[in-house]
């Protein structure tokens, strides 16, 4: 069996929705808890959003992150990002750029399959294995971004209510409810982290 046929015959892991909303001086990342394999829910309450860094460090607990993709790969990337944050005194943008460079060029890291939303009080970014460090549009007043299988649903819902809702967490939670109603790989059991 050639490689292309072999890869398509393997059971595929799917899913997740992660949304980040920055508004009114507050940043929130919300992620659903569903882990699916094919058409089976393997776990309904996975924790895909977390605070990074030890509380004792200057930046510890002040960076939040969510991932979509392979769990082991995401944990590896979280650990690498924590190291970059240590090297760059908690400067998220600089640490994210350095991680993205490594992720794109390092022989081991470039095989990791995940996307990440990372944020601190000043910045919210999407990181990809292509070397991308993307800041959502919207400027200082409001920024919204989403990743994962239900990401586009959550993003559309959040943008629709952004103009009349001032609370970042309310926007993110409502957008996640919409995504969970539409995307079969997303559920309503969410983890919320806010700065």
Active site residues: 16
Instruction: Identify the residue whose tokens are 């919207």.
Output: 138
Strand, coil or helix: what is 34?
Answer: coil
Q: Are 188 and 24 in contact (CB under 8 A)?
A: no
Distance of CA 186 to the CA centre of its chain: 14
- Residue 117: strand, helix, or coil: strand
Helices (H), the chain: 3-9, 71-87, 92-105, 151-162, 168-182
In this structure, are residues 84 and 105 in contact, taking their beta carbons and an 8 Å threshold? no
Neighbours of 71 (CB within 10 A): 16
CA gap 100, 103 in Å, rounded: 5
Q: In the β-sheet with 13-14, what is the strand arrangement from edge to edge?
A: 13-14, 35-37, 40-43
Beta strands 49-52 and 63-69, pairing class: antiparallel
């Amino acid at each position: 069996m050639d490689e292309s046929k072999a890869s398509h015959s393997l059971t595929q892991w799917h899913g997740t929705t992660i949304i980040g909303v920055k508004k009114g001086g507050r940043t929130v990342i919300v992620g659903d808890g569903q882990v699916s394999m094919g058409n089976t829910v393997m776990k309904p309450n996975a924790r895909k959003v977390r605070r990074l860094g030890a509380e004792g460090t200057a930046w510890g607990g002040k960076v939040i992150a969510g991932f979509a993709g392979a769990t082991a790969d995401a944990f590896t990337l979280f650990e690498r990002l924590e190291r970059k944050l240590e090297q760059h005194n908690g400067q998220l943008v600089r640490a994210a750029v350095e991680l993205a460079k490594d992720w794109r060029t390092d022989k081991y890291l470039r095989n990791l399959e995940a996307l990440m939303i990372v944020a601190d009080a000043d910045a919210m970014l999407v990181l990809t294995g292509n070397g991308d460090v993307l800041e959502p549009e919207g400027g200082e007043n409001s920024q919204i971004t989403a990743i994962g299988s239900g990401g586009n649903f959550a993003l559309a819902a959040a943008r629709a209510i952004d103009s009349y809702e001032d609370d970042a967490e309310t926007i993110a939670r409502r957008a996640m409810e919409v995504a969970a109603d539409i995307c079969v790989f997303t559920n309503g059991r969410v983890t919320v982290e806010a700065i």
